Amino acid sequence: MKKNRLVKGFLIAFTAFGINAVTAQDTATIKVSEEADAPVISKHIYGHFAEHLGRCIYGGFFVGEDSPIPNTHGVRNDIIDALKQLGIPNLRWPGGCFADTYHWKDGIGPKEDRPTIVNQWWGGVTEDNSFGTHDFLNLCEILGTEPYLAANVGSGTVKEFNEWVQYVNHKGTSPMSELREENGRLEPWNVKFWGVGNEMWGCGGNMTPEYYANIYKQYATFMTDWTNSDKLFRIASGANVADYHWTEVLMRDIPKNLIEGVALHSYSFVEWENKGSSLEFNEEQYFSTMETALKMEELVTKHSEIMDKYDPNNRIALIVDEWGGWYEVMDGTNPGFLYQQNTMRDAMIAGTTLNIFNNHSKRVKMANLAQTVNVLQAVILTEDEKMLLTPTYHVMEMYKVHQEATMLPVTLQSPEFTYGDASLPAISVSASKDTAGAVHVSLVNIDSKKSNKVSIDLGELGLKKFTGRILTSKKLQDHNTFDKPNAIVPVSYDKFKFRKGTLELEIPPFSVVVLEGK
């Protein structure tokens, strides 16, 4: 991931699919309505990412079958249970930058016969390939989640890529399906989601978009779908943050019958060269981090506008398959392992970013938080036999009510969150209506010091009563620890008034609220 090209100006207002946030007022006013042609919020927006990086796989997910830690085929049972509760819809693997040095045949067959490699991107450690294709795809089956395989374009070949598709998807007789059966798997896994390379503008090969578009076409052409199931969903390696030329070239040069998705990567941080501590940050650093997080609104809007020009029928999805907070590693840890703590600041990033994706669900169809366990903005942290769920986990659990629900357009006028002479919208919101008719409104107040009053006009929806949950704490730097894993958890919330279709409440500083109306 390269540095965001972030202009040092600050948001005064932003607009996106019915959102119109305007500062300089005391109360946030929101109107929620219905539209006949509103999109469904894809569950895949709530996807996750597991790279062979640091302790995400080894010492995170995978402890081995001989571990005293309870496990299923070497994967920790407590992690399996937590991710099932979270209802993750998809999981991206094996990278990241690691994907374009990964040769999948190294990770199949008897574990004792698998070759080792050096993980040149992340810490220079030896990778023994004990967690490979079967391990990952079987884990996805246990979790009830869709696998998203990021395949090697940077150092691989078309033949190697094509054989991986055949190995995991072909039901009939072929060299690769026979090899799969020799390795203990009779039925194919029928993997749908495939990333055709990763960050081709950087660690994937430092390519130009014009060069990559040609390479992509070659790989995508030979990605035969060897099953009678749905067509493969091919995802092109997309732009680094605000590289709109990259998206323009891919949309212009790749035939529409060869592509189903275009990726986008963007991280939130203080400054790229000095990301600051994940725990010991001040007001200025918090404000800067939220500025980069809210920049996602502009990125999604502008990349979508380019895609609209070439794809007016909205057939190709925008896939934000890497996002989240990125800080300096915790003291005493390998700098290549990207291990950081997870505070209420990260809950703010998660809540506001997911609101943006929900509101852009016409074009955004998948996203992947980086990363699942022990890396960057993780939802789970482990230490030997101990495990904890982070504030980010709890936000995603609260927000899972939006999965596969119909997006409800929202208009918003927001108070300011100010630092010095700069300002950001303090309130973020998205809303949806599920198939049972329940309406959910998710709200975030990013202000670090001030509660904000909110008035929500829901009169068009005919609702009778509301319940709610809140995630909040006393300090922005608060986090869960292995000694106190439940210091920050969602609790019931009823500090609101609902009269004549209007909901009124006051959201504490740096808090996330999800309301349900029926």
| Per-residue confidence band for 224, with pLDDT thresholds at 50, 70 and 90 | confident
Quick: pLDDT tens for 465-495: 999 999 999 999 999 999 999 999 999 999 9
Residue 52, CA distances (Å) to 117, 122, 343, 388 in order: 12, 8, 24, 20
Exposure on the CB side of residue 372, measured as CA atoms within 13 A: 33
Average pLDDT, the chain: 93
Question: What are the residue ranges of CATH 3.20.20.80 in the chain?
Answer: 39-406
- What CA–CA distance (Å, rounded) separates 76 from 71? 4
The 10s digit of each residue's pLDDT in 434-447 is 999 999 999 999 99
Closest to 156 measured CA to CA, from 93, 123, 200, 118: 200
Residue 412 CA to residue 190 CA, distance in Å, equals: 42
Is residue 299's pLDDT more than 70? yes
pTM for the whole structure: 0.94
For residue 267, is pLDDT > 90? yes
**pLDDT tens column, 102-161:** 999 999 999 999 999 999 999 999 999 999 999 999 999 999 999 999 999 999 999 999
**Distance separating alpha carbons of residues 3 and 281, to the nearest angstrom:** 20
Q: Exactly one of 322, 328, 397, 416 is catalytic; which is it? A: 322
Using the CB atoms, write b or e for 155-186: b if 16+ within 10 Å: ebeeeebbbbbbbbbbeeeeebbebbeeeebe
Query: Residue 25's pLDDT is what?
Result: 67
Question: Which pLDDT band, with edges at 50, 70 and 90, does 20 fall under?
Answer: very low
Structure confidence at residue 211 (pLDDT): 98
Residue 218: CB partners within 8 Å, gap ≥ 6? 158
The answer to whether the peptide bond before residue 391 is cis (omega within 30 degrees of 0) is no
The span from the CA of 53 to the CA of 322, in Å, is 14
Q: Helices 209-221 and 158-169: crossing angle, nearest 10°? A: 40
Q: Find all residues with CB under 8 Å of 455, minimum gap 6, and list them.
A: 27, 28, 29, 30, 502, 503, 504
Give how far Cα 359 sits from Cα of 126, 351, 365, 380, 472, Å: 42, 12, 11, 27, 23
User: Which CATH topology does 39-406 take?
Assistant: TIM Barrel (3.20.20)
CATH class in words for 411-517: mainly beta
pLDDT over threshold 80, residue 36: yes
Cα(358)–Cα(369) distance, rounded to whole angstroms? 14
CATH 2.60.40.1180 domain extents, the chain: 411-517
Residues in the chain, overall count:
518
Strands (E), 199-316: 233-240, 261-268
CA distance linking residue 143 with residue 415, whole number of Å: 41
Is 322 assigned a catalytic role? yes
Active-site residue identified among 127, 146, 163, 199: 199
